[in-house]
Structure 1
Amino acid sequence: MPVAHHFPIEIPGIGKETVVTILLLLILCFLAGVFMKSKPAQQFKNWLETKILVHIPGYSYLRALSTDKLNSQDQSWRPASVLIDGNEVICFVVDETENYYSLFFPGAPTPTSGTVSARLKGDVRLLPISVSETFMIIRQLGVGAAAVLENLDRQQPLAK
């Protein structure tokens, strides 16, 4: 006999099976959320990301964009600019050490491919805009970049 028949629930227009299924899914989602807060689950998530997911094309890009959209504290990519041959180039800080930033320079209008470089921290200026705003500037072939950099020049001049 199905599990749903043991519940004294009667909702007109919806079968017991549907109601019980929805309740069980909600309970399962809640328990999964509680489990994901545990230390072993966090270690598993970190292992999964560093060993498997980073090898999937576009994963880092999607993770950075979703992290930004969800206003997460774990900001894996940070918008920045670098002066190269007299031109300000917009990029993302993707990693850092004590003295260096690892930078990703996305291509326009498709920011999912580009080049990677390491620069001294003193050569890089962090931009006061979000990852999604930076992606929008890149997709629009630089529209809006001048205003961001102009405001940045007033706040934080590049060291000579």
Structure 2
Amino acid sequence: MKSLTKKLRDTMIAGIIFLLPILVLVVLANKVLLFFTGLTSRFAAMFGLKSFLGVSGGTIAGAIGLLLFILFCGYLVRVAFFKQITNWVDNKLSAHIPGYSIYREMAMSKLVEKEEVLPYQMAALFPSDGKFVPCFVMESGNNGEVVAFFPSAGNTKEGSIQLVPGSLLRKLPETDMRKFRQAIDKNGIGLMEAIK
């Protein structure tokens, strides 16, 4: 009973820690929108916008004002001085808010499409029960052993890591690792072309 209570308590704490940054962002966004709504409601009334489709004119003008402010801040970040300020704030938030850097990287990966750096040295095939299993060479040791990553079919981000004799591997140094990885992600479709 005590272990169940402890697991439940730990799970509740983990849930709170997970939701806390999201809740803070929602509350901040709400406060900023209310601030802009208060500022822009006079402008909306001045232009005769009382409501549109049941939404008050102040809210519409506040949302437009917020979007313009975000756009303005986006241009400011391109200036070197403001970029340094942004980096300083990011470092402080990373140091003081648990999990901030993880959430930031998740958000940035969705916003900015950059080419992912693959941590593999090369693609390879490992013999197993008369067939070859696709894998990636992560490191090569001085004694001829190799750290190999064996991805799961359909998901190259999960799998197993094994220390194997390098002499058993059929190394594919000329193979395009992106095509090789994509073929594994597609459950093997395109693998034959990738290893040519």
The structure where helix makes up a greater share of residues is 2
Q: Give the structure-2-normalised TM-score.
A: 0.42
Q: Give the structure-1-normalised TM-score.
A: 0.48
